[in-house]
Chain A
Amino acid sequence: MADESWQLHCPIPIPADSDRISLAHGEGGRLMRRLIEEQILPRFRDSGDAVRSPGDAALLPAIDSGLALTTDSFVASPLFFPGGDVGRLAVFGTVNDLVVAGAEPLWLSLSLIIEEGLPVAVLERVLDSAAAAAVEAGVRIVTGDTKVVPRGAADGLFLNTSGVGRILEPAPPGPESLQPGDELIISGPIGRHGIAILAAREQLGLTPSPETDCACLREPARCLRDAAIPVRAMRDATRGGVTAVLHEWAAASGHTLTIDAIAIPTTPDVRGAAELLGLDPLHIANEGTMLIAVPQGTGAAAVAALQGSAISREATVIGRLGQRGVAPVTVVRALGREQPLDEPSGILLPRIC
């Protein structure tokens, strides 16, 4: 180690301001090693399991089932928002993608793309939060990567997580298996994440500040499994909101999905903000709320099972499948008339008046 301090090769001078991440932190030299050894590894090290990480790769033990693999990138702005932050989002987002595929999440990778100048304290907060979320979700973060890009080339901090899970049998057969008569369930109030982010980013000054629904869906999924509910499909309703999932399922199944607008749970703050901004909560992103399809007659049992978890205690049946009618997705609003529900197109733009 003593030799290393005499290395002549130093492409970027070590910055005076050590409270911020510099390009030197990404250059593969001593600063980067210290960043990884002091800031990152201690937060995710876990003795006593079968994973070894001797080099750049985690060596995973063999397991006796099929595997599920998923990846997702997280570019939230701001990095911190009421009820969550990008670290928590990055862990739960990938965990949830495994959970709704019918897998038990096991291992995650975590990659950081850091904009030069990010305060080290911000990075520490995000890493702490990701580590805590991993413990909460029962997964290990076993490998990762760190890059630093010049100021302006990223927005503070971008995260990527990939996840590996064990497929639990019987896994939900997926949206192609949906049948007319099937019941549609939402696991909780919708639109909370998108409104929380929008309110925080644009400093809308709403009181109380709307909170994200960012949560791990492992427990709600376990409740369904424990109650032996024959789930056909599950999907966390992230970007594009509930509407996007409904349209995907309608396309996959060839049937019409109909929801009852009055049955859809929303919190008063989300409703208020959505009304104010002219946005429909059905189109707004969620990060811990999923749509579930179950066979006709099992909706009530599924809801009862979901209510066993604090995360999905407000689960409720919101619709059903029918033969393909005039539109792939329809909604019944106050007057009782069934009307097409269009997909959200492009970005949601708040209205003028």
Chain B
Amino acid sequence: MKYLDEFRDPVLARRLLDEIRERVTRPRVLMEVCGGQTHSLLRYGIETELQGNVELIHGPGCPVRVTPAEAINFAQELALQPDVVVASFGDMLRVPGSTRSLADVRGAGGNVRIVYSPLDAIELARKKSDRHVVFFAVGFETTAPATALAVLQAAALGLDNFSLLVAHVRVLPAMEALMAAPGCRVQGFLAAGHVCTVTGFEEYDDFVRRHRTPVVVTGFEPVDLLGGILDCVTQLEEGRAEVTNQYARSVQRSGNVASQDVVGQVYEIADTPWRGLGVIPAGGYRLRPEFQMFDAAYRFADVASQQVTNSSVGNSGSSECHSGEVLSGRLRPIECPAFGTRCTPESPLGAPMVSSEGACSAYFRYQSQAGR
């Protein structure tokens, strides 16, 4: 299959592995930003192959695990309202809020539908004119253009029974927050290829200059990842720090301008809570005031305020879940005391164990069986 097989080529991958090992003069610490990259690294055993040469810290780039429990609780409350349907990407269903998941709520009679695109939620709203459809808009810059487009379409259609529960996040502010955190060990970043397809990578120039840390835009297949790692360690060995693009088949320097325009029309940048990391300045999006009527938090302000009272203890997940430390790279998933025992993909304590891209779930799937 074109664009796939050549990036899983075992011969090329081996050659890159050898080159990385040759290039590295002392152990280097890199962070792959995106959860999809984490899964590939573990799935193909790349992390193990590079042991002693490159340590990979798994970054926060998984929308499922950074969506705050409060947003999930709110979605659950909405799903239990009469005449409301919550439409969501499948991944979000099993993520626990403060006490339970959307899947639990669906089992208890809540109205939750899996959709594959925000535009499917628009279709749902058109068909079910007696129901209000709330789309749970999660994800990074990758999914924001599609949800923004849904809002524009809803406005064009004059849909009164459609709104978004917005929990969109932005990746660069999270990288800033990680670099500012005490004890940050990251020496270089593999930036998320999908996000950069939309945003481009011009905005990393300033980040690289200030932190003197290489950022390599990287894809998701083994050859992509190894190419990104090689580029990053080469820069470190040569004392350089630049933004480079190892995912040129998808990413252009200025990104997808049309998508950026749509996002800019509908959303504005806002300080946003991240699960496990707290509020990150400029860390996400909110709807612009002119699209307030499509904001579920506005339309269902009564439900939202009730929900805030309920969660006034500030509970944003199980106290036993160390996802904050995992997300910031201070704790490896297998070092968590609950890993694989009280916390498994079937019965997750926190979001990183849920998603197909969560770091804990990746370790559970690909690495932990020796110890089980």
- Which residues 304-353 in A have Cβ within 8 Å of B in the complex? 326-328, 333-337, 339-340, 342, 345-346, 349-353
Q: Taking beta carbons and an 8 Å cutoff, which residues of B are in contact with A?
A: 1, 4, 8-10, 13-14, 17, 36, 43-46, 48-49, 63-64, 89-94, 114, 116, 138-140, 142-143, 194, 222, 344-346, 355-357, 364-370
Smallest Cβ-Cβ distance to A279: which chain B residue: B356
A326 touching B91, Cβ below 8 Å: no
A275 interfacial contact with B, CB 8 Å: yes
B355 touching A339, Cβ below 8 Å: no
B94 touching A352, Cβ below 8 Å: no
B4 touching A275, Cβ below 8 Å: yes
Q: Closest Cβ of chain A: how far from B340's Cβ, in Å?
A: 11
Q: How far is the CA of A336 from the CA of B368 in the complex (A)?
A: 19
B13 touching A334, Cβ below 8 Å: yes
Taking a contact as CB atoms closer than 8 A, the residue among A275, A339, A351 that contacts B91 in the complex is A351
Taking a contact as CB atoms closer than 8 A, the residue among A204, A339, A342 that contacts B116 in the complex is A204
B138 touching A350, Cβ below 8 Å: no
A268 touching B1, Cβ below 8 Å: yes
Smallest Cβ-Cβ distance to A278: which chain B residue: B356
Q: How far is the CA of A204 from the CA of B119 in the complex (A)?
A: 12
15 intermolecular pairs with C-beta atoms under 8 Å apart = A204-B116, A333-B44, A335-B46, A337-B48, A339-B366, A339-B367, A340-B366, A342-B366, A345-B344, A349-B91, A349-B93, A351-B356, A351-B357, A352-B139, A352-B143
Taking a contact as CB atoms closer than 8 A, the residue among B43, B344, B356 that contacts A339 in the complex is B43
A333 touching B345, Cβ below 8 Å: no
CB neighbours (8 Å) of B36 from chain A are 353
- Which residues 197-236 in A have Cβ within 8 Å of B in the complex? 202, 204
Q: How far is the CA of A346 from the CA of B94 in the complex (A)?
A: 10
Interface of B is mostly: helix
Q: Closest Cβ of chain A: how far from B143's Cβ, in Å?
A: 6
CB neighbours (8 Å) of B367 from chain A are 339-340
A335 touching B143, Cβ below 8 Å: no
Q: How far is the CA of A328 from the CA of B369 in the complex (A)?
A: 9
Interface of A is mostly: loop
CB neighbours (8 Å) of B10 from chain A are 262, 334-336
Give 6 A-B pairs besides A278-B357, A335-B14 with Cβ atoms closer than 8 angstroms.
Answer: A272-B1, A278-B356, A326-B369, A335-B46, A335-B222, A337-B45
Q: Closest Cβ of chain A: how far from B92's Cβ, in Å?
A: 7
- Which residues 127-186 in A have Cβ within 8 Å of B in the complex? none
Smallest Cβ-Cβ distance to B88: which chain A residue: A352
B46 touching A351, Cβ below 8 Å: no
A334 touching B222, Cβ below 8 Å: yes
Q: Closest Cβ of chain A: how far from B11's Cβ, in Å?
A: 10
Q: How far is the CA of A333 from the CA of B1 in the complex (A)?
A: 16
A352 touching B63, Cβ below 8 Å: yes
B366 touching A353, Cβ below 8 Å: no
- Which residues 254-287 in A have Cβ within 8 Å of B in the complex? 262, 268, 271-272, 275, 278
CB neighbours (8 Å) of B370 from chain A are 326-327, 340
Q: How far is the CA of A351 from the CA of B194 in the complex (A)?
A: 14
A335-B17 in contact given A342-B369, A349-B90, A353-B143 (Cβ < 8 Å)? yes
A345-B346 in contact given A202-B116, A272-B1, A335-B10 (Cβ < 8 Å)? yes
CB neighbours (8 Å) of A326 from chain B are 369-370
A352 touching B138, Cβ below 8 Å: yes
Smallest Cβ-Cβ distance to B354: which chain A residue: A349
A349-B14 in contact given A275-B4, A326-B369, A333-B45 (Cβ < 8 Å)? no
A350 touching B222, Cβ below 8 Å: no
Q: Closest Cβ of chain B: how far from A96's Cβ, in Å?
A: 29
Smallest Cβ-Cβ distance to B146: which chain A residue: A353
B63 touching A353, Cβ below 8 Å: yes
